[in-house]
A and B are shown apart, each in its own frame.
Chain A
Amino acid sequence: MDHIFFFYFAAVIATTSVLVVALRNPVYSALSLLIMFFHVAGLYVTLHAEFLAAVQIVVYAGAILVLYLFVVMLLSIKSEERYHNQLPVAGLLGVMLCTEVILLLIQSRTAASAPAVSADPVAGAGNTETIGEALYSTYLFPFEVASLILLVAMIGAIILAKKDLNEHVQQ
């Protein structure tokens, strides 16, 4: 049963991620990325990370992708006629690295089959309470740094997108 769900989600994720790269129209790319985000959230549910699945849908599909679509519509971009000139080199590199990764992981599958449970297995890992406790005790300092990153990003986005900043500075 787990395998069926995994292969369904994996097939859709792989297909839509290829479509994001292959489709010429940026709106279609963004919409297939939306489908991919939903299926990644489904994969998180099968991995017992229900809270992360909800956050994935709310933040990625709800905020980030809407921002992308907003900019695509704002700039009224035409679809690309052709890819970049380095397409053959990049395609060769991608195929080579992909086969390498798959071959390495198939070879090492037997060695990594024994599940190594850590010293303190978190009971019901993935629920909101466990994540919250870890976030506000062990990872308190990175949490504060993350909020600082968000503040800097907010200020930077306002300054970059502001229209006539230089004229105001000169006055």
Chain B
Amino acid sequence: MTVPLSYYLVLSGFVFLTGVVGVLIRRNIIVILLSVELMLNATNINFVAFSEYFHNVAGQVFVFFALTVAAAEVAIGLAIIIALHRTNSSIYIDDLNLLKR
């Protein structure tokens, strides 16, 4: 009666690829960071599904570490965005072409 593991894998693969496409097609840096959060959540779903499937608690412990890294990434990323907005007054990645000029 339980849900097969492959359903969870398909779901997390879909969410991960949505995040990849979001990183590639958006111009707003904040939405790009939100897409990175999507990818992290996809890996977390995978970890928890395998943890339940193999009856091993290690997967859930690693979700904690992924959560820590996500929190650190958000803090640093948003600080970088604020610094960028202060110097460039734009957060679109098309406008950040200082090395091309």
Contact = CB atoms under 8 A, between A and B. Distances in A.
Contacts of A3: 3
Contacts of A108: 6
- Nearest 8 CB-CB pairs, A to B? A153-B72, A90-B24, A21-B22, A160-B79, A94-B21, A101-B13, A121-B55, A157-B79
A167 to B, nearest CB: 14
16 contacts: A2-B1, A20-B18, A21-B35, A30-B34, A36-B38, A47-B48, A55-B64, A60-B37, A67-B74, A68-B33, A90-B21, A94-B24, A105-B9, A105-B10, A131-B57, A139-B58
Given A83-B26, A87-B25, A118 B55 contact: yes
A156 B82 CA distance: 13
B42 to A, nearest CB: 8
Q: Is the interface of A mostly helix, strand, loop or mixed?
A: helix
A35 interface: no
Contacts of A1: 1
Given A36-B41, A47-B52, A75-B91, A59 B67 contact: yes
A122 interface: yes
Contacts of B21: 21, 90-91, 93-94
Contacts of B83: 160-161
B30 A68 contact: yes
A64 B79 contact: no
Q: How large is the interface on B (under 10, 10 to 19, 20 to 34, 35 or more residues)?
A: 35 or more
Q: How large is the interface on A (under 10, 10 to 19, 20 to 34, 35 or more residues)?
A: 35 or more
A149 to B, nearest CB: 5
B11 interface: yes
Contact of A112 (B5, B58, B64, B73): B5
Nearest to A117: B55
Given A101-B13, A149-B72, A64 B20 contact: no
B58 to A, nearest CB: 7
Nearest to B9: A105
A10 B11 contact: yes
